[in-house]
C-alpha cells in the first residue's frame, strides 16, 4: 500500500496566519490526492480533490497544490472555525490510504 | 441532498461478527458513478479505508482486512452493509459509511458525502 506522510503532525497558529501542511506519497500518485478536514466528534469533510480543485462550498482561503509525490494544503488566513485535524488521502490505487493527520491548534 | 446514516449494534463480543448498515436518503443508491464505502477510525487515531461496493455488486476490500470483510448492497432498501468477522479489541472504532464519487471526465474523485459515524466497541 502507498504510504502517505503528513507534516507536521501538529501545528499551533493564530487567527489570520497563513498555514501550510504537506503530504508526501511513498510513490508517485499523479494528482490523485484529496484533503479532508475533521472536527472533534464529526465526520471528515472534503476540502480539495484532484490535488488542487476546491470542493463546492469550501472557502477560497483553502488551496491545494502538488503532483507526483509532494503535495501541500494552504490556508491563507486562518479563521476560528479552521482549527481542526486535516488528512490527506491518495486514491491513485488500492487501497486508498490516508495520512496520519495534522492537528491544527490555536496558539 | 443525499445523506448517509449508519446503524447497528454499538457493542460486539470478541470473535463475533460486527454488522452495520448504511441507509442512503435523498437519492437512489443505484444512480450515478458512485462507490459506497466503509471507513473506520479508532479513538484518537487516523482513518482506515475498509472497502467499497458498486451498485453492480462488485467489491474491493483493504487487503489488511479482506479475509474478514463482506460488503453488500440492497438496492430495494437503498442500503449497503458491512460485516466484519472474528472481531477483536483492535476493531473498536468509529465506523463511517461514505460515498465515493468517480468522474474521470472532471477529475472529481473523492469521498464527498459521509455519514455521521457510529461507535462500535468490541468487548465481552
Task: Give the residue among B35, B43, B73 at the shortest CA–CA distance from B57.
Answer: B73
| pLDDT (0 to 100) of residue B86 | 98
- Nearest CB to A43; choose among B61, B62, B115: B115
| pLDDT, tens only, A22-79 | 999 999 999 999 999 999 999 999 999 999 999 999 999 999 999 999 999 999 999 9
**Average model confidence (pLDDT) for chain B?**
96
| pLDDT (0 to 100) of residue A23 | 98
The cell numbers describing B6, all together, are 449508519
Q: How many CB atoms lie within 10 A of CB A12?
A: 13
Taking CB atoms and an 8 Å limit, are B111 and A46 in contact across chains? yes
| pLDDT (0 to 100) of residue B32 | 80
| pLDDT (0 to 100) of residue B108 | 87
Chains A–B, number of C-beta pairs less than 8 Å apart: 60
| pLDDT (0 to 100) of residue B31 | 85
% chain B with pLDDT above 90: 90
| pLDDT (0 to 100) of residue B114 | 98
Rounded to the nearest angstrom, the minimum Cα separation between A100 and chain B is 5
| pLDDT (0 to 100) of residue B65 | 97
Name the pLDDT band for B33 (thresholds 50, 70, 90). Answer: confident
| pLDDT, tens only, B73-121 | 999 999 999 999 999 999 999 999 999 999 878 788 999 999 999 999 9
Q: Is the CB of A42 inside 8 Å of chain B's CB atoms?
A: yes
Cis peptide before A8 (omega within 30 of 0): yes
Residues of B in contact with A42 (CB under 8 A): 116
Taking CB atoms and an 8 Å limit, are A94 and B60 in contact across chains? yes
Decide if pLDDT at B69 tops 90: yes
Amino acid at each position: 500500500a502507498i504510504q502517505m506522510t503528513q507534516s507536521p503532525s501538529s501545528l499551533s497558529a493564530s487567527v489570520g496566519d497563513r498555514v501550510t501542511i504537506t503530504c508526501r506519497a511513498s510513490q508517485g500518485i499523479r494528482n490523485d490526492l484529496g484533503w479532508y478536514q475533521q472536527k472533534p466528534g464529526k465526520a471528515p469533510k472534503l476540502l480539495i480533490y484532484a490535488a488542487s480543485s476546491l470542493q463546492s462550498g469550501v472557502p477560497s482561503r483553502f488551496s491545494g497544490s502538488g503532483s507526483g509525490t509532494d503535495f501541500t494544503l494552504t490556508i491563507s488566513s486562518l479563521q476560528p472555525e479552521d482549527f481542526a485535524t486535516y488528512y490527506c488521502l491518495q486514491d491513485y490505487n488500492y487501497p486508498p490510504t490516508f495520512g496520519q493527520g495534522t492537528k491544527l491548534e490555536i496558539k | 441532498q443525499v445523506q448517509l446514516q449508519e446503524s447497528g449494534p454499538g457493542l460486539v463480543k470478541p470473535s463475533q461478527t460486527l454488522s452495520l448498515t448504511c441507509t442512503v436518503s435523498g437519492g437512489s443508491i443505484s444512480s450515478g458513478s458512485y462507490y459506497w464505502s466503509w471507513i473506520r477510525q479508532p479513538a484518537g487515531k487516523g482513518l482506515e479505508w475498509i472497502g467499497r461496493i458498486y451498485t453492480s455488486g462488485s467489491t474491493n476490500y483493504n487487503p489488511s482486512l479482506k479475509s474478514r470483510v463482506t460488503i453488500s448492497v440492497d438496492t430495494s432498501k437503498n442500503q449497503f452493509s458491512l460485516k466484519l468477522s472474528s472481531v477483536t479489541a483492535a476493531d473498536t472504532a468509529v465506523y463511517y459509511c461514505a460515498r465515493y464519487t468517480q468522474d474521470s471526465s472532471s477529475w472529481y474523485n473523492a469521498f464527498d458525502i459521509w455519514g455521521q459515524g457510529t461507535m462500535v466497541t468490541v468487548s465481552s
